Structure 1
Amino acid sequence: MMQLPERVEGLHHITVATGSAQGDVDLLVKTLGQRLVKKTMFYDGARPVYHLYFGNELGEPGTLYTTFPVRQAGYTGKRGAGQISAVSYNAPVGTLSWWQEHLIKRAVTVSEVRERFGQKYLSFEHPDCGVGFEIIEQDTDGQFEPWDSPYVPKEVALRGFHSWTATLNRNEEMDSFMRNAWNLKPQGRDGNYQRYAFGNGGAAKVLDVYIDEDERPGTWALGEGQVHHAAFEVADLDVQAALKFDVEGLGYTDFSDRKHRGYFESIYVRTPGGILFEAAVTIGFTHDEPIETLGSEVKVAPQLEGVKDELLRTMNDPIVI
């Protein structure tokens, strides 16, 4: 199959169906030292659910962990094959012992230091909903500037994503999609892991695949404790349109129309591995809030402004930072 031009640039954001808004703040802000850069609401469907965005100071692509805290709406699901199973952050070399001690102090159960692809890492789960995380030691050259958090000293702070891990029970069709449609290049194997990278790799340019032939598929709908979709960065709307046109030409036609998400514009495709991929064009977070106060006020789509207070009362999912 002919490989398409290299239109996808790297990891943009990950979106996860979690438990409570406060549980997300407790982990992402108070434990991992991320900034809550935007509070808005889920743009699809009638039930009011937060959409929270966590990242560095500006919420740059490659740092954005976004959540739908769906417990109060009663959405349940199942983790399994065909999903992103771990989100890995970069940490400076020599800081894993600090992170291990810090996580324990914050009542997060964390692994011993492990090694994969020659890199040391820690793994743990979101205490409120069970989603997988890793912290990987990596030289800080070329990485994202961290948020100056009151909870985590800047010298040990996380510097955006290292990679995401997808769990599949087989990889043949997904491998073809990633190589030929999404311009990912195989980088080698380590046990049941296969590594792929955009370009020459680097911060937020790596996707790992873990093969577990016995793992049953996870659910696709919004459900607490599972990653809903993985978003990748493209340069502009013209590139996004060309990507969709050419990928459909390869036979992968399960694409959405373009959707305006307030802070980026997106198209979505269901991949042959089951994972929902998004190609996102960045708009940014400062067009409706100044940088100094990002994340301080709940933002909603213009058509919902008149009922925002009612929606917040109905949702009843308070946040205290």
Structure 2
Amino acid sequence: MTSGLHHITAITRKIQANVDFYCGFLGLRLVKRTGGFEDAAQLHLFYGDAVASPGSLVTFLAWEDGSRGRVGHGAASEIAFVIHPEAIGFWLTRALQFGVTATGPATEFGEPVLRLTDPDGIIVKLVGTTEVEPGAAWAVRGIEAKDAITRLRGATLLSEKPAQTADFLVRHAGFETAATEGTITRLDSGSGQVVDVRDATGFWPAAPGTGAIDHVALRLPDRTAVEAQAVDLRSRGDDTINMHDRKYFYSLYVREPAGGLIELASDGPGFALDEPLDTLGSRLFIPEHFHLRPEDIVPMLPQFGLPGEPRTVYRDLPFVHRIHEPEAPDGTALVLLHGTGGNEASLLPFGRKIAPLATLISLRGRATEEGVARFFRRFGPRDFDQKDIVAEAQAFAAFVEDARHAYDLDDALLRFAGYSNGANFLAAAIMLHPGLVREALLLRPVPVLSGPPETDLSGTHIRIIIGSDDPAAGEGKILTEQLRDRGAQVTLVSIAGDHTLSDEDVNVATAWFV
């Protein structure tokens, strides 16, 4: 039967650094970019050989600035690639040249192994072997074909039940026990690819997050074979099965006995299904089952540049932030502040609609409430933490000042927009730091400062949009008067609707931005 690895999926915290490592340093080809099949707003990148062969693929879900995961039992701990044994020296030299952390070479199961650490801390092994049939190497400057990575060699699974994990892989994925070395049992496939099962009894459990491997996908020839395994698993009483059509392959997800997530994936139809081989990886695919318009999802996906392409260099500033560049920027910039429970991606579709040619800079609030992001703390529904507002407004002022220099922003072309909690915070920052913001759009705001300072806001232009059916509409009017009393020029617009944003908000905001 067809056996071996189909792909390995992990989670990255910084997509640009990930692309630079796997494409630029390792020399893999970006063969597909998609919105996530479980969350369309999550970018999913697939790397592989020149023709995206099953068995050459490593994929990454982008959790930009997300919490870090933990390596432990119930998950994979290492990704291994095939190189020619004589290429070990080349890769050790290349790691030194690129500043990539490397250890070894060492000998494991009779093969030379060089361990590298990717930008997220994931261990990547380069294994010198001729046991696996080479794939079609992708031509990259600085890496000759004889030195190139060609396929996946294997993965290491950490298991508290190593015998049961191994038995599962033998029974459902065509592997056979091949050798044992210390606490590691090596399982070999018909393709020569391996899974090493390491006895992790006494280890801490794995935790999902950035820098963690999410799952290992094993090869089956076609959908019929995947469905046959589903029947077999159910007959054994396994009720953890999920099956999905991933367009480019058909998948079954199941937990092996020690809790590790295993995917059984068909070889076809393959990644050339919707784009030719010569342009593979250049087109973004959004899974159809979300029924989303591209303009509602594409701005939420983090942007990146392939090696040699332009890219945004992010600076370490007080707030986590996301930058979205249009194809033809006009020099304007719009800073966005989300509402309660949002994040730095939430307002990007709105921002792109009202400002199609602007550079968007969207922030993530630093306060949390029951696990959701906000821009300041509160003690109750209308009891706002005044000290926190002042402190966060100070940090925001520092962010704006630093961003002006870091991203070469023109003060005359810089505007700000906030929604709900972000609008409340933006209004407070305007009053606490006069002159910081000159043009602002406040969507569904309420006043949150218990004693607004008597500052001079002359020269500040603000448009406030309230919903006629929003219970907080009256408070938006109070905020309007507070700002006007301090010299700001404020336009108050009431539209039909409640607290949620609508197409009418887009229309009114577009007129403001022009």
Query: What residue in structure 1 maps to residue 20 of structure 2?
Result: 26
- Per-residue deviation at 1:304? 5.4
Q: Which residues of 2 match residues 177-256 of structure 1 at below 5 A? A: 177-199=168-190, 202=192, 205-219=193-207, 221=208, 223-256=209-242
Query: For the residues of structure 1 that align with 2:137 and 2:131, how far apart are their CA atoms?
Result: 11
Query: For the residues of structure 1 that align with 2:171 and 2:270, how far apart are their CA atoms?
Result: 29
Q: Which residue identity is paired with 1:13? A: H
- Per-residue deviation at 1:215? 1.3
Q: Which residue identity is paired with 2:166? A: D
Deviates most, 28-37 or 262-271: 262-271
Aligned with residue 248 of structure 2, among 249, 255, 263: 263
- Per-residue deviation at 1:80? 1.0
Q: Does 2:286 correspond to 1:295?
A: no
Q: Normalization by structure 2: what TM-score?
A: 0.57
Q: Does 2:30 correspond to 1:36?
A: yes
- Per-residue deviation at 1:151? 4.3
- Per-residue deviation at 1:149? 1.9
Query: For the residues of structure 2 that align with 1:45 and 1:110, how far apart are their CA atoms?
Result: 34
Contact 1:31 1:151 in 2 (8 A): no
Q: Does 2:106 correspond to 1:106?
A: no
Contact 1:184 1:196 in 2 (8 A): yes
- Per-residue deviation at 1:179? 2.9
Contact 2:165 2:197 in 1 (8 A): no
Contact 2:226 2:264 in 1 (8 A): yes
Query: For the residues of structure 1 that align with 2:241 and 2:2, how far apart are their CA atoms?
Result: 16
Query: For the residues of structure 1 that align with 2:173 and 2:132, how far apart are their CA atoms?
Result: 26
Count of matched residue pairs? 306
Relative distance call for 1:124 and 1:237 in structure 2 (3 A) is same
Query: What residue in structure 2 maps to residue 3 of structure 1?
Result: none
**Partner SS, residue 71 of structure 1:** coil
Relative distance call for 1:151 and 1:65 in structure 2 (3 A) is farther
Contact 1:30 1:151 in 2 (8 A): no
> Which structure has the higher relative contact order (CA within 8 Å, separation 6+)?
1
Q: Which residue identity is paired with 1:191? A: G
Cα RMSD after superposing both structures: 1.9
CA deviation vs aligned residue, 1:91-149 (integer Å, no higher than 9, x gap) = 112110110110121111000210011111101211x2111110011127722221122
Q: Does 2:52 correspond to 1:59?
A: yes
* Identical counterparts, % of pairs: 25
Q: Does 2:14 correspond to 1:16?
A: no
- Per-residue deviation at 1:315? 3.0
Q: Which residue identity is paired with 1:178? A: L
Contact 1:20 1:317 in 2 (8 A): no
**Partner SS, residue 313 of structure 1:** helix
Structure 2, gaps ≥5 residues long? 308-514
Q: Does 2:43 correspond to 1:71?
A: no
**Partner SS, residue 85 of structure 2:** coil
Query: What residue in structure 1 maps to residue 317 of structure 2?
Result: none
- Per-residue deviation at 1:153? 1.6
Contact 1:31 1:152 in 2 (8 A): no
Query: For the residues of structure 1 that align with 2:104 and 2:302, how far apart are their CA atoms?
Result: 38
* Structure (1 or 2) with the greater helix fraction: 2
Contact 2:15 2:64 in 1 (8 A): no
